[in-house]
C-alpha cells in the first residue's frame, strides 16, 4: 500500500491520502522531521517530547533564547533549536531555510506559538489587541507561509485553535476572535494545499494546564480559584493535561490520520459539546 506522499498521482492530479500498513511496534513518526513553533512551553513542549519518543527529528522555534535553552536541556541534545519570532516574516523564512538546510524537508508543522490575555471592552488598549492578533493569527499564517517551500507531499500542518472561539466567554473577545480566525484560516489553507498533498487540521483544546495561565493570574491561589471555577463547566471534572493534547497532535502528525483534512479535533472534556454533563448542572 502506498504512503501518503507516494499516493500523489501526477497523471490525474488527484491526491489520495491512504493509511500505510504498520505494526503496533512501529514508531508513528520514525525519521520524520517535525517543526514546532512555541515548542519551548506548554502544549508545544509536550508535543516535542512525544514526537521524539515516536522517532521524529524535532526542531523547536521560539523568540525566547532562555526558554529554548531550557527546553533543549529537558529534551536532550538531539533537539534542534532555532530562535525566531513568528511575527517577523523575514526571520521565519531564515529559520525555515536553516531547518531545510539541516534536514532537507519538513514532514510535520505544529504551529503552537500563541498568547492569551483578557480584553474587556471598557479598558483594553489598542496595542494589546494588535499584539494578540499579530501573534495568534498573522504569526500562524507567516509560519505556514515560511514552511511551505520545505513541506513535501504527505506533510501534516497542525494549527492550534481554542474552544473560546465559540463559547462566548465575556472579556476575551480578541482572543476568541484570533482563535476563530485560526479555524477559518485552516480550512482555507487546506483547500489551497490539498493539491500539493499537504494536510491542514486544527487542534481545539479546552482549558489545559500550561504556563500560559501565568499571563492571566498572578498567584498560585488565584490559579487554584480559576481552576475550580473552570472545572464546574467541564463534564469530566478536570482540566486537560498538556500531554493529552500532545497525543491528539501526534495522531494528526502521523499517517494514521491520513484521511483527515480541514478537520477540528476538540479536546475539552465535553465542555463545548455536552455542557449539561458538567458539575455545575449536577449540583
Close Cβ partners of 253 (under 8 Å, ≥ 6 residues apart): 28, 29, 32, 34, 51, 56, 108, 110, 156, 158
CA distance 96 to 179: 24
Residues labelled as active-site residues: 175, 179
HSE on the CB side for 7, CA within 13 Å?
19
First-to-final CA distance of the chain: 53
The four Cα atoms 270, 276, 277, 283 give a dihedral, to 10 degrees, of 140
Rounded-to-integer distance, Cα 216 and Cα 27, Å: 38
Compute the CA torsion angle 130, 185, 34, 212 (nearest 10 deg): 40
Q: What number of other Cβ atoms are within 10 A of residue 168's Cβ? A: 9
Task: Say how many residues make up the chain.
Answer: 283
Amino acid at each position: 500500500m502506498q504512503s501518503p506522499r507516494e499516493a500523489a498521482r501526477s497523471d490525474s492530479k488527484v491526491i489520495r491520502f491512504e493509511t500505510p500498513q504498520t505494526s503496533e511496534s512501529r514508531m508513528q513518526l520514525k525519521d520524520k522531521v517535525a517543526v514546532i513553533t512555541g515548542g519551548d512551553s506548554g502544549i508545544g513542549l509536550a508535543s516535542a517530547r512525544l514526537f521524539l519518543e515516536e522517532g521524529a527529528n524535532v526542531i523547536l522555534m521560539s523568540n525566547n533564547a532562555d526558554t529554548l535553552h531550557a527546553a533543549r536541556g529537558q529534551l536532550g541534545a538531539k533537539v534542534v533549536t532555532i530562535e525566531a519570532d513568528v511575527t517577523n516574516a523575514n526571520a521565519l523564512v531564515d529559520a525555515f531555510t536553516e531547518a531545510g538546510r539541516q534536514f532537507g524537508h519538513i514532514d510535520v508543522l505544529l504551529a503552537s506559538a500563541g498568547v492569551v490575555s483578557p480584553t474587556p471592552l471598557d479598558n483594553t488598549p489598542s496595542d494589546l489587541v494588535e499584539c494578540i492578533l499579530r501573534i495568534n493569527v498573522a504569526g500562524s499564517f507567516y509560519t505556514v507561509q515560511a514552511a511551505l517551500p520545505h513541506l513535501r507531499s504527505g506533510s501534516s500542518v497542525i494549527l492550534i485553535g481554542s474552544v473560546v472561539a465559540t463559547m462566548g466567554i465575556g472579556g476575551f473577545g480578541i482572543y476568541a476572535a484570533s482563535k476563530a480566525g485560526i479555524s477559518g484560516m485552516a480550512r482555507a489553507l487546506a483547500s489551497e494545499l490539498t493539491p500539493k498533498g499537504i494536510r491542514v487540521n486544527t487542534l481545539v483544546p479546552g482549558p489545559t494546564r500550561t504556563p500560559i495561565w501565568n499571563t492571566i493570574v498572578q498567584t498560585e491561589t488565584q490559579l487554584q480559584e480559576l481552576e475550580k471555577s473552570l472545572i464546574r463547566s467541564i463534564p469530566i471534572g478536570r482540566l486537560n493535561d498538556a500531554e493529552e493534547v500532545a497525543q491528539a497532535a501526534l495522531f494528526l502528525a502521523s499517517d494514521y490520520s491520513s484521511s483527515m483534512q480541514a478537520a477540528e479535533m476538540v479536546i475539552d472534556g465535553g465542555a463545548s459539546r455536552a455542557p449539561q454533563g458538567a458539575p455545575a448542572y449536577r449540583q
